[in-house]
Amino acid sequence: MNQIIAIPQHKARIADRNIRIHYPMPLSNPFQKNERTTDEDIAAAYEAYLRNRLVSGDKLITAEMERIAKFVMDATDKPVGLIGNELEVNVIRKIIMEALNGNQ
């Protein structure tokens, strides 16, 4: 399996294996840290959002997750780059790995 790496938005380059993380709102990220939330709160909320979108059959989220999983499973030994912050990438990595390990 290939690894999933985080690429900060300011360092992102266009490539076949780089995938931009889509947020639930068109112009803002409601999962941002502020004085009342912790990283754990944000990760839990983002994971719940993604799982809910997958269960409800959201076409965009499902297609992105399938694309990430396809790149993780191919035999190229090249990493998959997710454009976003480390917290979001960790949540997506966790969901993808659970799905792939559950199928084995």
pLDDT for res 82: 92
Which string of DSSP letters, residue by residue, matches 29-51?
-SS---TT--HHHHHHHHHHHHH
Please state, rounded to an integer, the average pLDDT across all residues of the chain. 85
1 inside domain: yes
**pTM across the whole model:** 0.82
pLDDT for res 9: 84
35 inside domain: no
Count of structural domains, the chain? 1
Q: Residue with structure tokens 């009342």?
A: 36
Range of the domain at 87: 1-14+43-104
Reported as a single tens digit per residue, the pLDDT across 77-93 is: 899 999 988 988 999 99
22 inside domain: no
Task: For the chain, list residues with pLDDT below 70.
Answer: 23-33, 103-104
**What is the 3-class SS of 5-27, one letter each residue?**
EEECHHHCCCCCCEEECCCCCCC
Instruction: Please name which of 87, 93, 74 lies closest in space to residue 17, comparing C-alpha atoms.
Output: 74
19 inside domain: no
